[in-house]
Amino acid sequence: MNIQQKVFVVTGAGGGIGSELVYALLQKGATVAAVDLRQEALDALKSTDEGTLSRHALDISDSKAVAALPSSIIKTHGHVDAIINCAGIIQPFVKVNDLGFEAIEKVMNINFYGTLRMTKAFLPHLLKQPEAYVVNFSSMGGFLPVPGQSVYGASKAAVKLLTEALYAELLGTNVHVSVVFPGATATDITKNSGVKAPSAPSNDGKTPSFPMLSAKEAAAIVVRGIEHNKPQIFTGKDSKLMNRLYRLNPVYATKFIATQMKSLLK
C-alpha cells in the first residue's frame, strides 16, 4: 500500500508502538486519527501540520463509542483508508487458577472484542475505498503458550485467527489484511495494564538472547510490512525464531518457555 495521502486510524496511539506508528505514518505523508483511552497521552502527540492529526479519546471496549467513531473521523478527514488495531493490555502474571474473572473479562474485552468492534465498525467504509487496509496486533503469546499470560495469549490467539480468517474472506477485494506478532519491545504496557512487573529471569547463557526492540524500531517494521502488503509481520528476531521453533517442535518450544517463565510465577 502506498501510505502517502492515506487516512489511518491507530488505536493505542498514546504511547509505545502506537505513538511511534503515528509518527512513522505522518512522516510517510499519511493523515492519522489517533485513538487512545487517555486524553493527556493524545494531547502529547505533535505534528508539524495539525491538519494531518486528529485525537479521539475513547475506550475500545465501549461498543457505543466505537460504533460512533467512524462517522466522527470521516467528518474530520473525509474518509478512512486503514485501521491499525494496536491497543492492548496484558494480564497479571499469575496462573489461570489464580486469575479472577474480572481481570479475564477486561483482557478479552480490550484485546479481542475491542479489535473486533473496531474492525466491524470500519470495514464497511474501508470496502468503499479504492485501496484499504486492516492491521491487527497479535503477539508471540498468540501462537506460543506462555504460562502466567494464558488468558492474554488466548485473547491474542483469537486476534490471530480472526485476522487470518478476515484475510481469507477479503481475498480479491480492495482491502489488505495483516496480523502483527511483536517480539520483546520496550513499552509501558505493564504499567498501562495496571500490572505489577515481576523480575525478569536471568539468562543461563545456554538459551538465545535477543536485544529488546525499541517501540520506534517495531513501528518501522510494521510500516514496511504495510507498504509491502505482508499478511504476517514479525517484529524482532525472537518473534521470528519462536514462530519457527513452535511450528517445528511445539512440545519443546512450550517446555522452553515454561522454563523461562518458571521463576516469574513463584
Backbone angles phi, psi at 185, to 5 degrees: -135, 140
| DSSP assignments along the chain, one per residue | ---TT-EEEEESTTSHHHHHHHHHHHHTT-EEEEEES-HHHHHT---SSGGGEEEEE--TT-HHHHHHHHHHHHHHHS---EEEE----PPPSS-GGG--HHHHHHHHIIIIIHHHHHHHHHHHHHTTSSSEEEEEE--GGGTS--TT-HHHHHHHHHHHHHHHHHHHHTTTSSEEEEEEEE-SEE-SHHHHTT-PPPPPPPP-SSS---PPEEHHHHHHHHHHHHHTT-SEEEESHHHHHHHHHHHH-HHHHHHHHHHHHHGGG-
Mean local confidence (pLDDT), 163-174: 98
- pLDDT of 263 reads 73
pLDDT in tens, 72-105: 999 999 999 999 999 999 999 999 999 999 999 9
pTM score, two decimals?
0.91
Higher pLDDT, 180 or 192: 180
CATH of domain 7-265: 3.40.50.720
- pLDDT of 209 reads 55
- Per-residue pLDDT band for 197 (boundaries 50, 70, 90) equals low
Task: For residue 242, give the nearest of 127, 143, 159, 150 by alpha carbon.
Answer: 143
User: What residue type is assigned to position 260 of the chain?
Assistant: Q
Q: Residues 250, 242: contact at Cβ < 8 Å?
A: no
pLDDT in tens, 133-165: 999 999 999 999 999 999 999 999 999 999 999
- pLDDT of 262 reads 79
Residue 54, strand partner residues: 33
Mean local confidence (pLDDT), 185-212: 65
Task: For residue 208, give the nearest of 141, 249, 257 by alpha carbon.
Answer: 257
